[in-house]
A = this chain, B = another copy of it.
């Protein structure tokens, strides 16, 4: 029975997630994952450079999508409006992968080596979004500030959506942006 590359890739991801949860990330090898997925180790490395990357497969798609949606946001949008527009348009990417999203976040939270990779991916995501804002004429430093605070809001929304999927990720994003507004709107200037 021939298997498409996309099918093997998906099965490798599922096998990795299952094994990481059963044995722990550090106790699982790429060969174990390949075996569980019914492919050989060479196939594993044709799809992924290492066993961490299996869990970050959607990041490149998400980054590319966000870059596009930042470019396409309506003229005259403020930087935060651009971000909220882009994040909401990209919400389906997470929603389409909901089955992976929850165990993935839990694994990352409890595995230091995955936390490191996740931080690096998050920083790359924020840098890419900031670049997109600069491309729309937003000031250099302000673009970084908007991207990093916006990314924190995105992360917050995604976690709330894991806990409570019913309203949808888009609603959680709108709420997260409102929460940042409420947090910082209330600051009394120091005397």
Contacts and interface: CB of A to CB of B under 8 A. Distances in A.
A121 to B, nearest CB: 10
A149 interface: yes
B185 A181 contact: yes
Copies in the complex: 2
A178 B149 CA distance: 13
Secondary structure of the A contact surface, majority rule: helix
A146 B142 CA distance: 18
Contacts of A144: 156
Contacts of A88: 190
B155 A141 contact: no
A187 B183 contact: no
Contacts of A186: 78, 80-81
Interface of A: 78-81, 84-85, 88, 115-116, 119-120, 123, 141-142, 144-146, 148-149, 152-153, 155-156, 159-160, 174, 176-181, 183-190
A177 B187 contact: yes
A174 B145 contact: no
A127 to B, nearest CB: 10
Given A120-B119, A190-B84, A177 B181 contact: no
A156 B143 CA distance: 10
A17 B17 CA distance: 42
A80 B186 CA distance: 8
B145 A176 contact: yes
Contact of A184 (B80, B119, B142, B188): B80
Given A116-B120, A119-B120, A123-B119, A187 B78 contact: yes
| 3 closest A-B pairs by CB | A148-B152, A181-B184, A119-B119
